[in-house]
Amino acid sequence: MRTVIHLDSEEFPKYFYNALPDLPEKIPPYLDPETNKPVSSKKLELLFPKEIVNQEFSEERFIPIPEELRDIYINLLKRPRPLVRARYLENYLNLNNRIRIYYKREDLSPTGSHKPNTAIAQLYYANKDNASLVTTETGAGQWGSAVAFSSSVFNIKAEIYMVKVSYEQKPLRRILMQLFNAAVYPSPSANTKTGKAFIKKGEMNGSLGIAISEAVEAAITKRGKYVLGSVLNAVLAHQTIIGEETIKQLQDIDEEPTDVIACFGGGSNFGGLILPFYREYFVKKKRFINLIAAEPSEVPSLSKGEYKYDYGDTAGLTPLLKMYTLGKDFIPPPIYAGGLRYHGASPLLSLLRKHNIIKPRAHDEQESRRAAEIFARTEGIVPAPETSHAIAAAIDRAIELKKKGEEGTIIIGFSGHGLLDLTFYEGKYGN
Ligand SMILES: Cc1ncc(COP(=O)(O)O)c(C=O)c1O
């Protein structure tokens, strides 16, 4: 029985999978916040690297990964990454080989999460545009660390707006970003008009929505490029290298998944894992498997949100996207899983949710932390607070299958480690 399934470097994908041609219907257009009409690519190119805008609307199913970039994925990001059978967790849950659990180790990236998969691509394309500055926001600090690291690879300046509550909860992440030469500001900050307005209103915690507004404003006023860690089709496409590798790894050991589970903030690690499974099972084989989005019950955008046009940020500077949303003004409670504190969701994944192809499951912070403790004590790896939601959903599903006497093969997207989030395990919030 193989517990750790590796791939060779030549097996690393040559393409990003773009799911747009395989969707049950077209994604409604993104609307310009100034005119309420479909936003033009030209306008988006003022903000994003040109190739990112091309990829966002591309109808090409497979987008070639430039050889230079592929080399970076293999030699710097050290891909492909292992898929691991969670045998010690299975034993703890008494699953008797009838229900098997595997996890895909994105925690092994240089900064500890799946985020460098898209950060490195976006910085690669920003560098092709001769950008000298990129701006972004970060919640937990995982995305910010990935951008800081990728910017240092291309020698581009990075300005990062970190949600204030996370800035205070996670000084180690801030130090990591600064180590990679990034300028890090708590958001709301006094650097931007938007930030100043929220400070004046007495906003203390901040939110991803506000931090996005600040980063977009800074990119526009300083003529930099804005990079986004989730939500966009292009970002999901970069992350599909996770799912493509996992499919190969399962084929190598003759396993067929029944459940594929990942946590859901804006949808990038979830989409990256499940979209290749969607293509192989739903589109090609016309076969149903469970694609489960694990979200926090405190920020239940997919389970309780409304499918409608909304802004991606709080100040209303970004295009309007048709998505499941709790409303741009929703300020989430200060849960530790900062990367899941987002009011909206990827428009592509929102469409799959509308068609009942993906299913949300919500767990609160305490349930997730308990599941993560079990995982750490059995498998020896500490999950990031975000990832702990996927662990909670997977343990729940395993117990459900066991009670029904059914067999199952559960795949978890292990999106990141929590070694810089250890205070999460102190039980500071909840308990
Ligand atoms: C470890 C980890 N997992 C998941 C997420 C959620 O983001 P997404 O839904 O885009 O994967 C984040 C976001 O910061 C994260 O840091």
Domain boundaries, the chain: 4-9+67-112+233-426, 38-63+115-226
0.85 cut: is pTM over it? yes
- 299 — alpha (psi -120 to 50), left (phi > 0) or beta? beta
Q: State the sign of the Cα–Cα–Cα–Cα dihedral 194, 199, 202, 206.
A: positive
CATH for 38-63+115-226 is 3.40.50.1100
Q: Do 337 and 364 form a contact (C-beta atoms < 8 A)? A: no
Q: How many Cβ atoms sit within 10 Å of the Cβ of residue 399? A: 14
Pocket-forming residues, ligand 1, beta carbon under 6 Å: 113, 139-140, 142-143, 230, 263-270, 339-340, 384, 386-387, 415-416
Beta strand 290-296 with 306-311 is unpaired
Read off the pLDDT of residues 353-412 as tens digits, 9 standing for 90 and up: 999 999 999 999 999 999 999 999 999 999 999 999 999 999 999 999 999 999 999 999
- Residue having the nearest C-alpha atom to atom 7 of ligand 1: 265
pLDDT at 324 over 50: yes
The label of the residue with tokens 């709301």 reads 188
Residue 119, C-beta contacts closer than 8 angstroms, at least 6 positions apart: 143, 146, 147, 149, 150, 227, 229
Provide φ and ψ at 405, rounded to 5°.
70, 25
Which atom from ligand 1 is nearest to the alpha carbon of 387? 3
pLDDT at 426 over 90: no
Pocket test for ligand 1, best of 170, 231, 415 (most atoms within 8 A of CB): 415
Tokens of residue 11, six digits: 């097996």
Pocket test for ligand 1, best of 269, 270, 299 (most atoms within 8 A of CB): 269
Q: Do 114 and 272 form a contact (C-beta atoms < 8 A)? A: yes
At residue 415 the predicted structure's pLDDT band, cuts being 50, 70 and 90, is very high
pLDDT score at 208: 87
Rounded to an integer, the average pLDDT of 179-208 is 94
- Identical fold for domains 4-9+67-112+233-426 and 38-63+115-226, yes or no, is yes
Amino acid at 315: A
Q: Which CATH class is domain 4-9+67-112+233-426?
A: alpha beta
At residue 92 the predicted structure's pLDDT band, cuts being 50, 70 and 90, is very high
